[in-house]
Chains A and B, each alone.
Chain A
Amino acid sequence: MNPLVEVSHLEKHFEIRSGLWRTVSSHVRAVDDVSFAIAAGETLGLVGESGSGKSTVARLLLRLITATGGSVRLEGREVTTARPAEMKALRRKMGIVFQDPAASMNPRAKIKWSLRRPLVTNGFEHARIDDQILAMLAKVNLGPELLNRYPHQLSGGQQQRISVARALLLRPRLLVLDEPTSALDISVQAQVLNILLDLQEAFGLTYLFISHDLNVVRYVSDRVAIMYLGKLMEIGPVEAVLQAPRHPYTQGLAASSPPMSPHQRGRQRVLLAEQPPSLIDLPTGCRLHPRCPFRQTICEETRPELRELAPGHWAACHLAENLPAPQPRDT
């Protein structure tokens, strides 16, 4: 099956200017040579700590910011260089939901206005717009009484469901979810996650699900990609990657995430040293090596490429075959 989204060698460098003439003094490599694909109908989880570049990947996918290099293809059509008319058509196939639901809608406009805009701006027939909005509201379990309220009069969960409804009104094929539940209470999180899963089935959606919460990612994703300092560290089926991680960074992430059951408390844990280094002054070789407990000379000298260690399971680590067997997370 052809992938819906193909990302290859995607790069985003931000310039840092300083001095009297505002000359470029250094670059932040927010996203550095990232490649992956998402099959139609699947959910790819994208995990990383803050600053790993995962939100930048989301914005590059939708071309909210311009890529420095590489390509993004949606249904085989290039997104990064599309001309305005083609871009407008491509935008209808992609939606995005942001982390902060309170800031996701124009604070001066009623909900009705925020939901009408995507349809009006894309030339939908006026007579049918209100029906479409009501139908979509029902899909996210909200009633028409919210339409005349302002965003700040809604709860966080309601705001986020409105954001989802708005993103889906144009019937996109891909929905990018940038930490959609991180700002919500734990009980509301579950509610929103389940609505997202129902909608995926109802509309045959493809999700890119960005999160730092491994348990949430595990709940919704088919495959998961792990990012660190702008690079992809590991990618593969969610159970394989999270239960038997092949990259020390993933092992460290898994170890630092709260276990699902108290019986796992005694397990052996991989601990990463200190804080991630600066994005401006990146380590040579493997970006993880200053923090990695298993580092060897090769890690400081050569940058590891992603290698397929098991079918569909890739990791970028020189020592992937020789690491101590990680403890299974759930047994």
Chain B
Amino acid sequence: MTSIWKALREAGRNKSFLVGLAIMASLIAAALLADWISPYTYDEMVIVEALRPPSGQHWLGTDHLGRDSFSRLIHGSRIALKVGAIAVTIQTVVGVLLGLLAGYYGGWQDRVIIFLTDVIWALPPIVLAIAICTLLGPSLTNVIIAIAAVSWAQFTRIVRSKTQALKNMPYVEAARAMGESDLSIILRYILPNVIPVIIVLATLALPVAVVNTTALGFLGLGAQPPLPDWGVILSESMTYIRRAPWISIFPGLAIIYVVLGFNLLGEGLRDALDPRLKV
């Protein structure tokens, strides 16, 4: 196993990793600098300017309420990345903790946790997320909860099998023989050796979280208008798709851009950090 920094340097020679990195950087810049980049605010309505095609004044045109599409798109990246990042953080922490527990202790802890992952995996994730959002009510917080709830299981499964393999390594047995506690062994000896896998999984989970956020927004279960969530924009613009296709096309392209960027990044990282994960 190579060290993380060495692997990152190796990833730097990987073209898909670099393209992914550039896309991620542009997205983060757009989200952070949204207020400076966008020429208008995302909710400023000028009804007489409604449904204008792209022009010098409105780069991506305007929507049915005369709001600037480019400004809404840029502000939308903030929602997508924020919700995605928080949801992925939660599912990573929960999934990794459960995976370490199940893999290290085995026994009934393992059986209970694996049963839970089986239940999650038996249901289609988006249907489960819709159910959770319907139950909790539409809001971005509930979108985060729903997405994390349907996606932690893959972290648990992979971390568990890694942990099972690592816990029988001589250096873990040596640690136990010298009096290290279970907690110390899990945190100091096993977790650092699982982190490369976790980084890859988290990078690949982010685009899924973004797609799910927009899907829930599209269905009216997530962000609520006038928030410029890409899913909300898509659902609002559906009615005008013949007359003003630009309102729908650009948020669609933005979603593709996010998914493509993070998948390239994740695959580049995977090849560098742990090629055996390749399916």
A170 within 8 A of B: yes
B177 touches A121 (CB 8 A): no
The distance in angstroms between the C-alpha atoms of A91 and B173, with both chains bound, is: 12
- Give a binary string over B159-201; 1 marks a CB under 8 Å from any A CB, 0 the rest: 0000000000111011111111100100011001100000000
Contacts of A109 in B (CB 8 A): 192
Interface size on A, residues (CB 8 A): 29
B178 touches A59 (CB 8 A): no
A94 within 8 A of B: yes
B1 within 8 A of A: yes
- In the assembled complex, the CB of A141 is this many whole angstroms from the nearest CB of chain B, namely 21
The distance in angstroms between the C-alpha atoms of A101 and B145, with both chains bound, is: 45
The residue in chain B whose Cβ has the minimal distance to the Cβ of A98 is B170
Interface size on B, residues (CB 8 A): 19
The distance in angstroms between the C-alpha atoms of A150 and B175, with both chains bound, is: 17
- In the assembled complex, the CB of B264 is this many whole angstroms from the nearest CB of chain A, namely 26
A91 touches B192 (CB 8 A): no
A260 within 8 A of B: no
- In the assembled complex, the CB of A20 is this many whole angstroms from the nearest CB of chain B, namely 14
Label chain B's interface by main secondary structure: helix
Supposing A108-B192, A108-B193, A109-B192 touch, asked if A163 and B1 sit within 8 A by C-beta, the answer is: no
A92 within 8 A of B: yes
B175 touches A117 (CB 8 A): yes
Supposing A103-B169, A117-B180 touch, asked if A163 and B3 sit within 8 A by C-beta, the answer is: no
A163 touches B192 (CB 8 A): no
A94, A99, A109, A117: most-surrounded residue (chain B CB, <10 A): A117
- Beyond known contacts A62-B177, A92-B179, A98-B170: 10 more, CB 8 A cutoff: A91-B179, A103-B169, A103-B170, A105-B174, A108-B3, A117-B175, A121-B179, A122-B178, A166-B174, A167-B177
The 10 nearest A-B residue pairs measured at CB? A98-B170, A118-B178, A108-B192, A91-B179, A104-B170, A103-B170, A96-B177, A88-B179, A107-B1, A62-B177
